[in-house]
Amino acid sequence: MTKKQRAELVQVELEKLYPEVPIPLEHTDPYTLMVAVALSAQTTDKKVNQVTPNLFKVAGTPEKMAKLEVSEIKELIKEIGLSNTKAKNLKRMAELLLERHNGVVPQTYEELEALPGVGHKTASVVMSQGFGFPAFPVDTHIHRLMTQWRLTSGKNVVETEKDAKSIWPERVWNKLHLQIIFYGREYSPARGKGEKDFITKMMFDKQE
């Protein structure tokens, strides 16, 4: 199969599996989404979703978050990895949103990535899932699977993102990146052996 055929196979099979894809992190607006994504670094979405309801009851807006002490934020997110650093980032993020953006989450990569705890992937998720702009956030699931499917030779998620955007049309980016994440979790977990990864088998059982 050619690279184009492999990309089309991925898109077709994932659409069959996941015609509707919910956003994995629970949130109510772009701010709570950004907080949830920032918390999800090196932590499962499941764990984040267990912690954020109590956090958002107390600090569901930048104004409320900024009023808390770092120690108070840390106590609310203590079950999440890197809680000390993340607590500091969340407080400063809230303060900067108030200082620079009147408490409103900005809609540009440059402004988002200038906030503490917001890297390119987090900004991409906010742009895509929070505001509906075409974006292709790449996490480790997507990077690993695209490498496995020989759709990228990227050494990191940044290079893989560029390849993904060049392979698939912009109109499918927001949905497809979620479909790949769901597929990776269900059929090809990082710590498994990928026995259920039928898309890879379909590709490479056929002659190139």
Residue 41: closest CA among 123, 102, 98, 110: 123
Q: Known catalytic residue: 139? A: yes
Contact 21, 179 (CB under 8 A): yes
Torsion of CA 82, 88, 94, 95, to 10 degrees: -160
DSSP state at residue 153: -
Given the residues 139, 162, 163, 205, select the one marked as catalytic: 139
DSSP alpha helix (H) spans, the chain: 3-17, 30-39, 45-59, 62-67, 70-76, 83-101, 109-113, 120-125, 140-148, 157-167, 173-187, 198-204
Q: Known catalytic residue: 206? A: no
Place of tokens 């039928």: 198
Question: Within a 10 A sphere around the Cβ of 75, how many other Cβ atoms?
Answer: 12
Residues 6+ apart with CB under 8 A from 109: 120, 123, 124, 127
Contact 165, 136 (CB under 8 A): yes
Given the residues 74, 86, 121, 163, select the one marked as catalytic: 121
Query: Packing angle between helix 173-187 and helix 3-17, nearest 10 degrees?
Result: 80
Q: Report, as residue numbers or ranges, the catalytic residues.
A: 121, 139
